[in-house]
Amino acid sequence: MPNLYPAFERQEVVVHSPRHVRTFAELTDAEVEATARAWLERGEAARADGFAYVHALVNEGRAAGSSLPHSHSQLVWLREPPPERERERPGAVAELLGENDLLVAEEDGVRAVVHRCGRAPYELLIGGGEEIDVVAALRLLRECVRRLRAIEGPLAWNAWLHEDHLEVVPRLSVLAGVELGAGIYVNTVAPEDAAAALRAAT
């Protein structure tokens, strides 16, 4: 459905469930698959309509920018890839995803790892291969959110899809002058410790 308050030329909302579900962690397999299908089908529609890129994202919780309590995602149709995507170094994500000591979980060739240089505690990368299996990636996202909630309780987080991976940033710290002004992120949890905690969480 169209976003009621679009900030871009074209912006859509994907409602994850007909049930009142507050977190992605509570979605069923069928709901995760329907969400993935919506992302893929609307991405094809965007490209057919002349939009080069669809930025699929989830904002869960007020601190992550969500204005609705019901679990949902957004699809932002863009005429060109966003600057952040253009800045990514080819091969860097694959290298990070290959770090076995930071592995949290794996499914159908898709891996969830704690980011070696995360901007926030428990920041995650989910991916595998040159193109991501969106269904498997969203199932892993659900599992990682469940584990995060087991450690931290209900928490706000953001996630977004690039062609070959998902990035997940829990909102457990506040960005201050060093982060915003200098681009230096202070992460208080070592990535190895975060990965071990997430692996142990149920």
Of 88, 77, 143, the residue nearest 110 (C-alpha) = 143
Indicate the pairing of strand 124-127 with strand 110-114: antiparallel
Cβ(85)–Cβ(162) below 8 Å: yes
Q: Is residue 44 part of a domain?
A: yes
Q: What is the pLDDT along the chain (202 residues), one digit of tens a residue?
A: 666 666 778 999 999 999 999 999 999 999 999 999 999 999 999 999 999 999 999 999 999 999 888 999 999 999 999 988 888 887 889 999 999 999 999 998 999 999 999 999 999 999 987 789 999 999 999 999 999 999 999 999 999 999 899 999 999 999 899 999 999 999 999 999 999 999 999 8
Instruction: Please enumerate in sequence order all residues whose Cβ is within 8 A of that of 70, keeping only pairs 6 or more positions apart, or say none.
Output: 15, 16, 17, 20, 21, 22
- Taken as a whole, the chain contains a residue count of 202
Domain range for 172 is: 10-200
Residue with tokens 């076995």: 100
CATH of the domain at 153: 3.30.428
pLDDT at 4: 64
Q: Is residue 2 part of a domain?
A: no
pLDDT at 131: 84
What's the rounded Cα separation, in Å, for the pair 137 and 177? 33
What's the rounded Cα separation, in Å, for the pair 112 and 128? 9
Q: Is residue 161 part of a domain?
A: yes
pTM of the model: 0.93
Q: Is residue 78 part of a domain?
A: yes
Q: Is residue 4 part of a domain?
A: no
Domain tally, the chain: 1
pLDDT at 7: 75
Instruction: Please enumerate in sequence order all residues whose Cβ is within 8 A of that of 197, keeping only pairs 6 or more positions apart, or say none.
Output: 122, 151
